[in-house]
Each structure stands twice: as structure tokens, then as C-alpha cells.
Structure 1
Amino acid sequence: MKKLLLLAVTALPAAAQVPVQAPAEAATVQTRRAGNQLVLDVQDPGNHAWRVQTSDHLGDWTNGATYRVFNGSLSIPMPLNGSRRFFRLNSDEAGTVSSDADSALLLPATFFNYANPTLPAHLLAPPIVAQDNTPANNATTNAGATLGRALFYDKRLSANQTISCASCHQAAHGFSDPKTFSVGFAGGLTGRNSMGLTSAKYYLREHYFWDERAATLEDQVLQPIQNSVEMGMTLDLLVTRLSAEPFYAELFADAFGTPAVTSDRISKALAQFVRSIISSRSKYDLGVPNFNNFTAQENQGRAIFNGAGNCNACHGSDNFVPGNLIFNNGLENPYIDKGVGAISGRIQDEGLFKVPSLRNIELTAPYMHDGRFATLEQVVEFYNSGVVNHPNLSAPLRNPPGGPNGGQPRRLNLTNAQKAALVAFLKTLTDTTVTTDEKFQDPFRYQAQ
């Protein structure tokens, strides 16, 4: 029994809740006024089809159009006629509704360009190209990344269809989560902060997650789906669920030549979409090579970053990522979360964590694997005065052996003005053109046609 009963009258204020009889699938409806229309805002994790029925006296119901919920929610505008009008959404008597890609998704007539983005010369230089971890068997295509975009935002990827990849990797936050720990499908919390995905394509080491347990991005994208806290799915169930959607048959056929849904294809499409999220138009990028567009403070911060601060030892190149190294940055001793050490069981790996790109770092607070720092100012102060001595502390954060306090954690002793300058420089790496670009946003239709 999926029937959902909604009673509404024309005298509703601009926003109101009305009595609702919810079905077993936990669908709900709220109503609001929008001009001379009543808008029915449907929340339906089961993605059912609903027929609108109307009545003037709660007796005979007149059938209206059928609407399909495609990704958990749908707004249905209804004209308000007469002094009193009743509306009912009835899933039991829903008519046939199109579930093709045009009905489910807001996609352009021709694919967005994911495969060959226009990049400035400094991001086409050999050192940058060498950071590209795209495998030979999964080059990004426009159709593949389009499929990946739909999958990235689709709540079908979680057991109860309430959580998507984008729930924990939000575009406005540099494709990270502003919460210290992300909320999973059943309300549980993840063990680590969700890392930003901006320019994830450029990571020479290839490995993913804070502890680098996933050998490739293709491996990584499937693990949250199967995680018991995050999304709680099995790959077999996911394949069955997506195979039942006609619009996915179109997207998989465009991307891979046939409509078959497989976990391998899901993995490849998601990885293609994530690799396409490339930052290239920050203030920093516009300033290369002479940075005449920088303020004096920003240039001072750049000099500290590359000089006294030695920040580029771990965040090098124009993508601000490490080379083929992983680091212990002295957050604590002993480490509560042992990072790579928890995977390998080796003492010498304790406290080693993946070093993320600093691109869009201003947007990805809180910081570190456990989200312990709320602001960039706190991060800078940590590296200025708070690095903790640990047996595995990486060399760039130690004083050179043989000199004053040799081997001990470095203290930068920056002035307040210098710390502010370093923060100002880090903010030049912000690129909102990538976080607001339509081709990286949620493609699902949430407004009834």
C-alpha cells in the first residue's frame, strides 16, 4: 500500500504543512504557496510514481497527471481553483510515466566537455602531466563522466536511498564535507573527515583514502558504497537497482556501448567524473608566472610557503600535492588513528596519512583526517608552533641534524602578520568556477515538468 493522502485548501498561507497519511515507504509531503499555485513538495526515498487526484468534496476523485520521483524528492505545482480544493497523491493508481534520461535528468543536448578541458600552460607542463593517475583502460570520456555525474548524485547508491556520494563530497565545500565526520545512511558517523576531491586526478602515488588503502581511484569509489556506515550497499544489489531504471540503460549505452550495468562500469564512470573535477582558474592560476595580480600580502605568503615555511616540501608543484612520498605531520604522539600503520601493522607506518591537494583548501574546512582544526589560521599555527615530536615525524618538519635543536620539530616563529600572509596565499588557491560549474552539479530533475 503506497497511497499517500494529502488534504489542502486554497486558503493556505505562503508556507504550510498539511495533514499527511504516509505510506510504508516513508514518503512525505509538505505544501507551500507560490503565487497562484500550490506546490506539493514530495519526499520519497523509494522513487515511486504518483498520480495527482483532485476533489471538491472528498468524494469523487478526479485523476490528474502522473509524476515520477527520480532521486528522492519532487516539487509538483498545482493551480488553485475554487474556494476549497482537495489534492491526493496516489501511487496505487499511478499511470505510465516516462523514465528515460530526458525525463529524469537535466542534461545538455550535447555532452559537456569532460574529456579535454582547456587548461593553462602551467598545468600542461611535464611535472604536472606526470601526476596524472588516469589508467590506460579508463580514459575520461564525455559520456562516461556524464554517467559518473548521475551516479555521484544518485541516492540509489545507498541502502535506504537517502545518501549519495555528493552527500559527503559537496561541491560548495570543494567536494568535501563541512561536518567533522560525515553522516551515513543510517545516521552513523564516519571515522574520518571527508577529503576534498578537487584535482584528485593529480596524485602521483595513485592511492586513495587518508590511509591510502585503495590502490586506485577506481577501487576507492566502490568502497564507500559497500561500507556498513556510509552507504550500506552490496554491489549486486546496486547493479540490480540501477538495471531497473530505463534512464540508466541509456547512460550506460552512451558510455560503454551497451546498456549492461556492471560494478566495473560503475567504478569506471565514477572515477571518470571525479578525475574531471579539475581546478585551473584560481587567482593563483591567473597569476602564473609573475603573480602581478597578487596583493603584497599574498606575495609575502607565497614567499613563506616556498621558503621559510617549507610548505612546498609536502605540497609541491602547481597542484600542491606531494611527489611519491607520504608523510607523518606530527599531529600527536601516540596517534589515536594510526593511519597507514593501522593497515600495515608496521610501527614505522604509524601516523602516515595521504597529503591532499591544497587546491580549494579555503572551502574544505575542517582540516586534517580527524577534522580537528576549524580554520586555516589554526592549521598555520599548528605548523608554526604545534608540531609534535613523533618517531615517524617526516624530515621536512624537523630541524636539520647537527644544527640547533637538531632533529626536533621545527618552529617557524612566524609573526602574526606573516601567519596572516600565509593564510592569504592559501586563499588564492580557491577556484569557485569549478565548484559552481553546471557540469559538476546535481543533474536530477526535482521540478515536475
Structure 2
Amino acid sequence: MKTILLFPVLTLSALAQVPIEVGPDHGAVKFMKVDSGYVLEVTDPGNHAWMLQSTTDAAAWDNVTTHRPFNGFLRIPLAADGPRRLFRLNPEAAGAVSSNRADALLLPATAFNYANPVLPAHLLTQQIRAQDNTPAANPTTNAGATLGRVLFYDKRLSANQTISCSSCHQAQHGFSDPRRFSAGFNGGLTGRNSMGLTNTRYYLRGSYFWDERAATLEDQVLQPIQNAVEMGMTLDGLVVRVSAEPFYTELFSAAFGTPEVNSGRISRALAQFVRSIVSGSSKYDLGVPLNFTNLTVQENQGRAIFQGPVGGCSTCHGSDNFVPGNNIFNNGLENPYTDIGLAGVTLRGADIGFFKVPSLRNIELTAPYMHDGRFATLEQVVDFYNAGVMNHPNLSPQLRTPNGQPRRLNLTNAQKASLVAFLKTLTDTSLGADAKYSDPFRYEAR
């Protein structure tokens, strides 16, 4: 027998803001006073159905409405007018719940534009187009990326339905994680920092993860789902769980022509959504057609250091996407390396300490930095490249002087501050605030 919960609407006292256990499979509920009246906040990873019932005398209960969370959480408004009433949630009395797209999701009638984003001219050049790793077999479509967006935020993708892809790739943090290591579905920590996803489609090498163990983005998106620490699912279990949700029938049909759910389609949709996360509205972008007259004196000094021989940063972060071209680097973080990077995949000593170089776009938002999140600030990153590069045998030539020693920039404090100021011009806050990249689930009961 599942627990039935009573909530006296006009008696707040100790019930307000206090979680109430509902049973081993049914999460918790809060009774809360809000500006508009009263609400029940249901936290239920299992997405069970609940019947909201009410009474004036506790002798006979009237059924109000059956509610169901669609992604682990739901706010149910309560009527506070009229005579004093009691409300309760009774899962035993729950009726059928419509789980179609309109009930579960807040999606626009006309799909957002994912397939052909409006970008400034400098991001449409042949050089930039050549960096695009979108495969011919999986072009980004509006319907495919819409499906991918829902999957990206769906906690069903983890074993206990408590985390989603977005848990470790948060929009407000440049689609990265502000924690040094991310927490998995059961509380375990990942071995590396979650890198930002901005402009992922422009990684020319096409391989993913810090050690590039995934040959394509399509391969990459399925690995965290199956990882024992991160999400803990099997692909067969994933397909069964996603197939059980009626709203996915509509989304898969729109994206692929039929309602069939399989891991290949899940992979393709997630990859389409991730590739659609493209930045083109930073202060830097606005400055390109203006010859950067919109940048401050300090920011332009930092740009000169970044792009010129004094800093030499653009040798590893080139083009207007600030990506490494067809290269992977050892940047001399330590000697010896605790985490051997690419060598853990290739088993070659010559690959020890080589890690993927992501785009610097939105770098201000993606702290902490490096594969292990060792640097908390951009100032610390600049200090490292200024004077801290280690003389590892595999150190990349771009970070060596002609005599083979680690390069020292010897920047003044003012120059270092200018370089940081320039890096912050790559910030595009509009990306994280864009509705088409936001959580699409409906959390307010209708």
C-alpha cells in the first residue's frame, strides 16, 4: 500500500517547505505557500501518476485530477478559496494520464531553427565550413534536434532517473559543469571535468572526450549513458524506457519518419542537438565587422597578445572558432602525468599527456579549466601558460622555444589582465538563455 498524504490548505505551520517522504518508489512532496496561493511540489523520479483528492470533512473524498510528473518534478496548484478543505495525493486512486507531446512538453507549434542557424559572415567562410564535422549520414534537422533536445534533458536516460545529459552540461555554464568533477546517478564522481559543448560541431578532428576515445559525436553521446559512474544504463534498457513514453512516438516519427525507437536514432538525435549549439553573438563577433572598435583598449591589447607572437595563443586556438585545426596537444601540465590522456587509448608512449583542445568560445562560463579542472579561474590559466609549462618529453612544439625549452611568455601583470579581458569577449550569454536550448519539459500542472 502506497502512502496517502494529507495537506491542510489553510494550516501552513510546520508543513510549509518541509519534504515529506512518500515511499521508496515515490520520492517526496512539499506543501508550499506561494504568491498565487498554495502548491504541492512533487519530486518523483519514477514519474508515477497521482490522484489529487479533496474534502471538507475528511469523511468523503472527492477526486479532483490525476497528475503525473513527466521528468521527475511537478508543481500542482491548489484552490485556496471557498470553505476550508483538505487535499491529499493518492496514487492508488490515480486514473489514466495523457502523455502526449502537448501534455509533457513545452515545444513551439513551429520547430525552432536548428538546421540553418543565422550566423555572421565571418562564421560562414570556407575555413569555418571546413571545420564542420557533421556527417552526411546525420545532418541536423529541426525535428531531429528537437528530439535530441528532449533526450538531452530527460532523466530517464539514467538508471535511477535522477540525472540527464544536462546535469553535467548546464546551459548557463557554457554547457559544462561548474564542479571540478561531475556527480553521477549514484553520487560517484567522474574522472575528468565536463567540457563545454559550445561550437562542438567545429572540431575538425571529429573525435570526442578529452582523450578522443570516441571517433564521432554519434559515438560519444551514448557512452555516458552506459558509463557505470555517470548514468548507469544499458542501451537495451534505454530503448525500453524511451519507447514506453507516448510523447516520444510523436517526436521519433517527426524526426525519422516512423515511431521506432532504437539506440542508433537516439544517438543521431542527441548528436544533432549538440551540434546545433553554436555561438555567434559574442562581443568578439560583434566586433569583427567593426574592426574591433567596440572592444576596449585593454581588450584589444589582449587580442593582440593572443593573436600575435607575444602570446602565440592562436597557434593552438585558431580561426574565429578558436579551435585547434587538425591537431591534439600536450600542453605540459605536469611531468609525469597522473592522467595519461590519449595514450590510455592508443597505448603509445608518444601520446602521453595529449588531450583534446576544445573551442575557447564561452570560456568565461566553463570554469574550472583543463581536463582535471585544476584551474579555478582564467587568471590561473594565463599564469600557467605565462610561466608554468612543464618540460615533458611529449610537450608540443608550439609550447617550446627554438632551443627546446618550455616557452615562457613573461607577460606583465597588465598584459595578463588584458589577455583575460580579451578571452571574456568570447562570451555569448544569449546562447544559454536561448529557449531552443532550454529544458523543454512541463513542470507546472495544467
**Pairwise TM-score range, normalised by the shorter structure:** over 0.9
SS at match of 1:434: helix
Correspondent of 1:371 among 365, 368, 373 = 373
Aligned-partner Cα distance in 2 for 1:134–1:61:
57
- Partners of 1:5 and 1:21 within 8 A in 2: no
- Partners of 1:72 and 1:162 within 8 A in 2: yes
- In structure 2, what is the equivalent of residue 172 of structure 1? 172
Structure 1, 419-428 or 34-43: larger mean CA deviation: 34-43
- In structure 1, what is the equivalent of residue 435 of structure 2? 438
Give the alignment's TM-score, normalised by structure 1.
0.97
1:199-254 Cα deviation digits (max 9, x unpaired) = 00000000000000000000000000000000000000010001010000000000
SS at match of 2:385: helix
- In structure 1, what is the equivalent of residue 123 of structure 2? 123
Q: Find out whether 1:181 has 2:181 as its counterpart.
A: yes
- In structure 1, what is the equivalent of residue 419 of structure 2? 422
Structure 1, 213-222 or 21-30: larger mean CA deviation: 21-30
1:30-429 matched pairs, under 5 angstroms: 30-35=30-35, 37-81=37-81, 84-289=84-289, 290-307=291-308, 308-400=310-402, 406-429=403-426
Aligned-partner Cα distance in 1 for 2:52–2:323:
53
Task: Show structure 1 runs of 5+ residues with no match.
Answer: 401-405
Aligned-partner Cα distance in 2 for 1:53–1:83:
15
Q: Find out whether 1:447 has 2:444 as its counterpart.
A: yes
Aligned-partner Cα distance in 2 for 1:332–1:30:
49
1:339-369 Cα deviation digits (max 9, x unpaired) = 0011111111000000000000000000000
Aligned-partner Cα distance in 2 for 1:266–1:371:
29
Deviation of residue 81 (structure 1)? Answer: 4.0
What count of residue pairs does the alignment treat as equivalent?
444
Aligned-partner Cα distance in 2 for 1:94–1:258:
31
1:108-142 Cα deviation digits (max 9, x unpaired) = 01000000011111101011000000000100000
SS at match of 1:409: coil
Give the alignment's TM-score, normalised by structure 2.
0.97
**CA RMSD, 1 decimal:** 1.4
- In structure 2, what is the equivalent of residue 403 of structure 1? none
Deviation of residue 256 (structure 1)? Answer: 0.2
Aligned-partner Cα distance in 1 for 2:355–2:149:
28
User: Which amino acid counterpart does residue 10 of structure 1 have in structure 2?
Assistant: L
1:43-76 Cα deviation digits (max 9, x unpaired) = 0000111110112333322111111110000000
Aligned-partner Cα distance in 1 for 2:45–2:225:
17
Aligned-partner Cα distance in 1 for 2:261–2:174:
29
Deviation of residue 89 (structure 1)? Answer: 0.8
- Partners of 2:4 and 2:91 within 8 A in 1: yes
SS at match of 2:250: helix
- In structure 2, what is the equivalent of residue 28 of structure 1? 28
